[in-house]
Structure 1
Amino acid sequence: MVEQVSIYRAPTTVADAEEIARWLRERIDAAVDVRDRFTAAHADEQLAEEFAETRVLSPYERETGNTMLGIVRYEERALESPEQAGGVIYDGLAVQRLFGDRLPADERGLDHLHIVLTSRVLGTWGDHDGRWHKRVNVLGQPALISVPGLYEAPAKPESYYKEKQKHALVSGDTPPREVLESQVDGDFLVEDDPRTTDALKGYALQAVHYLDTGEAFCEQDGCRLANPHRQPGVIDSQLREPAFCAEHADRYE
């Protein structure tokens, strides 16, 4: 049973760890504290190279890692100045392991859950289709929540891709994301969206729920514990009422 939850601030995003912590305290029977970003507290000389080893090299190649000197230097800069990082996908399970290895020895038990908010894009390999998939969260100990994953992992409304295709047919190139987002009808989350913190609350609760019950995700659409693969589903489950399905409302409301 989870008795303590520690949430680590995201370095460069609009996610408010304190607000997520307040929301969790009202719903779970565990103490919740907020800490500085994980890499600021636990970085060491090996971390940059270990991050380089978790880089996804191609969407369709299982092998990861590029530890050439220039890549390791990039990762060193990313640790020092996270706002300069971007455009890279990391193996979420590998990042989870390297973070787990750096947890304090007396805080590694499953009664003390660590939730790391990160500005890195995380992915997991799909054996069923032979490609990497971006993820919002990686459950376990520690649990990882990718803030850019909230915008990038779930597919956008079909109108977004139709508009993108239409623009490409007319102009021969892909329009800037900002242009597409302004032209498309349909509700979806965008980078630095003011709804980010509210949307991430459910993903944080999923991490607690998983350690407590072993249940990864709820199968009911519209529940905070669901894992929708499209943006309209994220909006429905994380930002609209009711917050939970009947089963999970009994537990968390």
Structure 2
Amino acid sequence: MKTSKIIIYDEPTVPEIQIKKLEKFLHDTFHADTEIRKNFFENREDEIFQEIATTRVFELKKPFSKHIPTKLEIQIEKENIDNSQNEEKILYDGFEFQKIISKFIPSNENDQEILNIIFTNKLTCTFDESDFRYHARALIGTNPAIISTTGIIEAPAKPKEYYLDLMVNFTKESAEKIKEKYKGEFLEYNDSRITEVVEGYLLQAVMYYETGEAFCEDRECRLYNAHWQKELLYTQSNKKLCKNHEESLRKIINHS
């Protein structure tokens, strides 16, 4: 295993993330030294918030274009570290966001042997050349890896019937009733299942960094790239790896 240490940066605005449990999961799974740190954005100078604001996405059907932020937008970025969710659903280009985070990792910890994983409530997305539009993402791989707590909720789609019901009868009151109708079939904010699901994204982040292989095509594998909430909840409650990824994990551990 090329990674000798894994550092995870907490997101305290999402108390459902049991950070100690996640640290133990990483240590038990990869037998690597692990460390928990406070929120990556806490007590930072204005510079990082100014740079992050440049990664905001305003045109969903156009490739990334660097944004020149206003003073108000920079201030909002500073204030948003205390919010439990990205209420305005502001989108950020995930790769540009990751580049900026990388610049603020301490130089002695910004190497191949230390994997930094940052939790954030910002909604990261990437531009897909196949359909020429941005899509929300829960995970931006590489190092540092970014796990978006908002992306976990918003990126995988809810049941088709849920959207059809909204289209037929959309008011604020009916939306709440429809949400209640499908309760349990998808993750919500302040959902107690979030830690179990985050374990899967942590597993994906480390495996991707170690092997360079993105996700899995097997729906029974915990590394499966779930496009639907139903798939996500199934694979993460199942907690199994396919035979190929079980073997990959063994090789990674044995080469530690």
With normalisation by structure 2, the TM-score equals 0.89
Aligned counterparts of 1:76 and 1:49: Cα–Cα separation in 2: 9
Q: Which residue of the partner structure matches residue 190 of structure 1?
A: 188
- Secondary structure of the residue that 1:211 maps to in structure 2? helix
Aligned counterparts of 1:108 and 1:176: Cα–Cα separation in 2: 49
Aligned counterparts of 1:185 and 1:55: Cα–Cα separation in 2: 31
CA contact (8 A) 2:55 2:66 kept: yes
Aligned counterparts of 1:151 and 1:143: Cα–Cα separation in 2: 18
Per-residue CA deviations over 1:34-74 (Å, capped at 9, x if unaligned) read 11111116x22311211110111132232242412221222
CA RMSD across the alignment:
2.0
Q: Which is worse superposed, 216-225 or 114-123?
A: 216-225
Aligned counterparts of 2:100 and 2:174: Cα–Cα separation in 1: 35
With normalisation by structure 1, the TM-score equals 0.90
Q: Which residue of the partner structure matches residue 96 of structure 1?
A: 98
Gap change, CA 1:160 and 1:85, over 3 Å in 2 = closer
- Where does 1:129-140 land on structure 2 (aligned, <5 Å)? 129-140=131-142
- Where does 1:59-70 land on structure 2 (aligned, <5 Å)? 59-62=60-63, 63-70=65-72
Q: Which residue of the partner structure matches residue 147 of structure 1?
A: 149
How far residue 185 of structure 1 moved from its aligned partner, in angstroms, is: 6.8
Q: Which residue of the partner structure matches residue 28 of structure 1?
A: 30
CA contact (8 A) 2:222 2:238 kept: no
Aligned counterparts of 1:128 and 1:192: Cα–Cα separation in 2: 34
CA contact (8 A) 1:8 1:17 kept: no
Q: Which residue of the partner structure matches residue 234 of structure 2?
A: 236
Aligned counterparts of 1:214 and 1:84: Cα–Cα separation in 2: 30
Aligned counterparts of 2:18 and 2:165: Cα–Cα separation in 1: 33
Percent of aligned pairs with the same residue? 29
CA contact (8 A) 1:156 1:188 kept: yes
How far residue 154 of structure 1 moved from its aligned partner, in angstroms, is: 0.5
**Which of 200, 217, 220 is the matching residue for 1:219?**
217
Aligned counterparts of 2:194 and 2:155: Cα–Cα separation in 1: 14
